[in-house]
Amino acid sequence: METTRSPRLEEVALEAGVSTATVSRYLNSPERVALATRERIRVAVEAIGYLPNLNAGALAGNRSRLIAVLVPDIAQSIFNDTVEAMIDELARDGNSVVLALTGSDNRRLTAEIDMALARRVDAIILTGIVTEEAVRKRLEAASMTVIETWGLPENPIDVAVGFSHRAAGEELARFLRSRGYRKPHLVVPRSARSQRRASGFITRWVAEGGEEPTRLEVNVPSHFGQGRLSFRGLSELSERPDVVVCGSDWIAQGLIVEAHAAGIRVPDQLAVTGFGNLRLAGDMRPTITSVDIDGAHIAREVMRVLRARANNLEIEARIDVGFRIIARESA
Amino acid sequence: METTRSPRLEEVALEAGVSTATVSRYLNSPERVALATRERIRVAVEAIGYLPNLNAGALAGNRSRLIAVLVPDIAQSIFNDTVEAMIDELARDGNSVVLALTGSDNRRLTAEIDMALARRVDAIILTGIVTEEAVRKRLEAASMTVIETWGLPENPIDVAVGFSHRAAGEELARFLRSRGYRKPHLVVPRSARSQRRASGFITRWVAEGGEEPTRLEVNVPSHFGQGRLSFRGLSELSERPDVVVCGSDWIAQGLIVEAHAAGIRVPDQLAVTGFGNLRLAGDMRPTITSVDIDGAHIAREVMRVLRARANNLEIEARIDVGFRIIARESA
DNA sequence: CCGCGCTATGCAAGCGCTTGCAAGGCTCTA
DNA sequence: TAGAGCCTTGCAAGCGCTTGCATAGCGCGG
């Protein structure tokens, strides 16, 4: 583990016969350095094998190029596509992502936010809406770029990039109604988002003359196994539903597998919808009708926000990326 | 976005009537500060709402408390459990994780390694073994803590925490042989790890008197849809296998679904095994026989390595966390 | 009552960059 | 040919911490 200290900017400057200021400029905004000088520095950097010390840069420049991304989990997360797309985009711009896990625990959320602030990250990206008031306050007090994704609250802490879960629920209700279903049953994960969708669904469904749907709540994160359990729960209902609206594709998938095992044909005897349009939704047999959220789109909008902020430009506080119902075989 | 600069160590020191050195010590090793002083500083920190600037700390202390974790992807990754467990453990120790995505592209891997070095991370954690020589060299040259996980190479770059994929393959061969299967078919993702397992399986299978298994290669990351495709591929074989050894639980799951759709009973007419023992393996119908890798165990060992390094203690270069075959209904 | 060995604290020199300011050198116009 | 204006570069003052070294205070044995 004994190493000679890694080369500093100064060594490069010496080698190239310029000042450290010029090398710094070359590294951060090459267009401000004359072409010939650029080349000399390039050669020097190469020769020395110089790698800048980003911590020093962050301190001096008050810009860390570090973005905190806070998610509940990654083992079983509907956000993974979005997070992956964001990390890709951010890396392309020379940023690094500090990924922090919050579970569904506000204490952990708070702790991770403090950590992010201590790191002086350039922005904090949250998946989901922050409901807890204390957390909101803390974030607002920091007066930094905070991006809430996947949700679209009335009053974002700073900026929100997402879609209306309520609208998604309503749209789904309309869709199923138009397909002639009569008796939906909702399987709703205990997250603010899912609850909102369910609420939208019910409102719309009833408004269109349907009778109040039955519902079952399940824990988050939702997973395949819950689908199976949910199916069993159906037998306890006084009347069997004709369509089960699941809070995630995993639940839908599990439910379909269990239905088949019980000899029930999907969608003939029981229709099913999922949410998230994970890859498996299109691969499942039958393919699963789902609601698609374009993670790459969210990532691009997040980048747009970040770039706007970097250039002191104005940006909308609420960016709607929408959603699409993907009609497939299961409903 | 106009803010007054956030409070510095000095303000806290002033408020508490001590020097910045003492506050710094309080923050980093409280036991070195007298009890009464401790309390005064605690109150001052609280009153001021002080959050240390970790970038400054990293620069001054030559310790970033930043750990880079490099994975191919997270959208469809068998490592997610392990990564999640590592992030949890690391956060508990006051570290942050910089998550970088490398795909299966060596250029990206190299770029992300450089980024990690520029950040002066305290350690780099890789999932999977680094095969590319240039990358190895770069990492060795950095002479820092580098932990390769999930694999167990003969000569780790620095430290490896994982298991022998070859042994896992061999063990699976032995297991299936003992269960009386005669004609296995392998579905092998194009990753070094999977290839190694396949190779171990074949060697062992043949050594035990079996005939050379057939095999199908699939792209990484593997997913549910490939399972379905793999099933269809079976019909092209001259003789139908009695067990399909899949490179991941997702493939196994997809294959089972497709088999059912084709009216083939699993495991009666066709047995299936997965790999990774994801949650769904236990939830699937039939439940999937799989190979369990204990992500939390890997995470704990990684922490042990990190702590040993922090205290300049010796640590084994190869830490075997093993694997367990979980026999379930599907094979 | 002195000196030794601790413990608790302070002093101040960095850590390796970025950037505001200023100056030198050019080009171009009037 | 002088001045204006731009481009390029250097100077040097930080950015907010950590930590080696020095010092002060204290208890205690001789």
Dist. CA A232–CA A226, nearest whole Å: 10
**Residue B27 to residue B10: CA distance in whole angstroms:** 13
Tokens 């820092």 sit on residue: B144
pLDDT tens column, A275-290: 999 999 999 999 999 9
A243's enclosing H/E stretch is strand A243-246
Residues of B in contact with A100 (CB under 8 A): 87, 91, 96-97
Give the number of other CB atoms < 10 A from CB of residue A5.
7
Query: Does pTM top 0.75 for this prediction?
Result: yes
- At A129 the pLDDT is 76
Average predicted confidence (pLDDT) for chain A: 95
The reply to whether residue B53 touches residue A120, judged by beta carbons under 8 angstroms, is: yes
Give the CA distances from residue A94 to residues A5, A89, A91, B66, B114, in Å, rounded to whole numbers and listed in that order. Answer: 24, 9, 5, 17, 11
pLDDT tens digit sequence for B62-78: 999 999 999 999 998 99
Give the residue on B whose Cα is nearest the Cα of A146: B1
Instruction: Give the gap in angstroms from C-alpha A89 to the nearest C-alpha of chain B.
Output: 11
Q: How much is the CA Rg of chain A, to the nearest whole Å?
A: 25
At B311 the three-state DSSP class reads: coil
pLDDT by residue (tens digit) across B170-226?
999 999 999 999 999 999 999 999 999 999 999 999 999 999 999 999 999 999 999
Q: Please tell me the predicted confidence (pLDDT) of residue A2.
A: 43
Q: Which residues of B touch A75 (CB under 8 A)?
A: 80-81, 84, 279
pLDDT number for residue B129: 76
**Structural element, H or E, at residue A127:** strand A123-127
Summarised one tens digit per residue, pLDDT across range A123-173 is 999 997 788 898 899 899 888 999 999 999 999 999 999 999 999 999 999
Q: Are B26 and B37 in contact (CB under 8 A)?
A: yes
Predicted confidence band of residue A3 (pLDDT cuts 50, 70, 90): low
**Best interface-test mutation with A: which of B12, B55, B266, B284 has the largest number of A CBs within 10 A?**
B55
Q: How far is the CA of B19 from the C1' of C10 (A)?
A: 6
B225-242: b (≥16 Cβ within 10 Å) or e: bbbbbbbebbeeeeeebb
Q: Is A59's CB within 8 Å of B56's CB?
A: yes
Size of interface A-B (CB pairs under 8 A): 145
Q: Which nucleotide is nearest to B11 (CA to C1')?
A: D16
Q: Which residues have CB under 8 Å from A224's CB, separation 6+?
A: A250, A251, A253, A254, A257, B279, B280, B283, B284
- Amino acid symbol at B228: R
